[in-house]
Homo-oligomer: A and B are copies of this chain.
Amino acid sequence: MLDIAFTGTGDAAQIPVWGCGCTACVRAKNITTFKRKPAGLSITSPKGVTLIDAGRNDLADCFSVEQISRIILTHFHMDHVQGLFHLRWSEHGRKIPVYRPDDPIGCDDLYKHPGIFEFQKPFRELDTIVWDDFALTALPLNHSKPTLGYLLEYGGNRLAYICDTAGLPVVTKDFLKNKRIDYLILDCAEPPSSKIMYNHNDLNSALEIIQQLAPTKTWLTHISHRFEHWLLHNPNTLPDNIQIAQDGMRIQLIPSRTYGCL
């Protein structure tokens, strides 16, 4: 079984946003279950924990060095990597492999002083790695830095993690359109907007992707306080198979299907 948890479902500002008095931020200040830390996942298998992104600053409180099998980065914006900066100075001895898009700049001095982390050769687009616990394929996305989504395959289940993006590049759309997607975790940072989106989906562009990929179930993530505020004032607008993710929410993948690569 794979146990997948949302380590965070927020955008770079997180929720509550510092100094904000909107309904969403006030609610998150008062009720901690509504807080949103930077978007990311943990994937726990009998082999250990894989982190997708490392934007939380309290990862040391959540996971031991021994638990972490690998870290997979979608990109090098600060809200997706900031949790690595003090962890890298661990003197534990073992190295943790970090998989990443092909971004020669990275973030600040992470490449120069990787410490405990061992940056792997970058993914090329649509590269697949098959580990003992699951397989992952790198999906190029539309973002202001080189950014990858990932298609996870396990026991006949397919889960696509697509964050951060505005729409989908043709290569990713073409790769996914002939595949059955069971679960989709999708960037939807903004409420419906008439503006052209460049870095993140608004609800309109997210719904368009969902229509194209036709997943059985979708969770929206990378939620800004603007979208959360909109949702509070526009309840019951989403169909049953589209849900707003919450920090700590879990998805369990059970190897019940007879097809699939693992």
Contact surface of A with B, Cβ cutoff 8 Å: 11-14, 16-20, 38, 57-58, 60, 64-66, 78-79, 82, 85-87, 89-92, 107-109, 116
- Given A85-B78, A89-B13, the answer on whether A19 and B64 have CB atoms closer than 8 Å is yes
- Given A57-B57, A78-B85, A82-B85, the answer on whether A20 and B108 have CB atoms closer than 8 Å is no
How many copies of this chain? Answer: 2
- Given A108-B107, A108-B108, the answer on whether A89 and B12 have CB atoms closer than 8 Å is yes
Complex CA gap A65/B21 in Å reads 12
28 A-B contacts (beta carbon < 8 Å): A11-B89, A12-B86, A13-B90, A14-B86, A17-B89, A18-B60, A18-B65, A18-B86, A18-B87, A18-B90, A18-B92, A18-B116, A19-B64, A19-B65, A19-B66, A19-B91, A20-B90, A20-B91, A20-B92, A57-B57, A57-B82, A78-B85, A78-B108, A79-B85, A79-B86, A82-B82, A107-B108, A108-B108
- Nearest opposing residue in chain B for A109, CB measure: B78
Contact A90 B57 (CB under 8 A): no
Complex CA gap A107/B81 in Å reads 14
CB A226 to nearest CB in B, in angstroms, measures 9
Contact A19 B86 (CB under 8 A): no
CB A15 to nearest CB in B, in angstroms, measures 10
Complex CA gap A85/B77 in Å reads 10
Contact B90 A19 (CB under 8 A): yes
Complex CA gap A144/B79 in Å reads 25
CB A87 to nearest CB in B, in angstroms, measures 5
CB A110 to nearest CB in B, in angstroms, measures 9
- Nearest opposing residue in chain B for A17, CB measure: B90
CB A138 to nearest CB in B, in angstroms, measures 24
- Nearest opposing residue in chain B for A13, CB measure: B89
Complex CA gap A107/B78 in Å reads 11
- 3 cross-chain pairs, A with B, having the tightest CB-CB distances, nearest first: A19-B65, A13-B89, A19-B92
CB A4 to nearest CB in B, in angstroms, measures 23
Complex CA gap A213/B64 in Å reads 43
CB A45 to nearest CB in B, in angstroms, measures 21
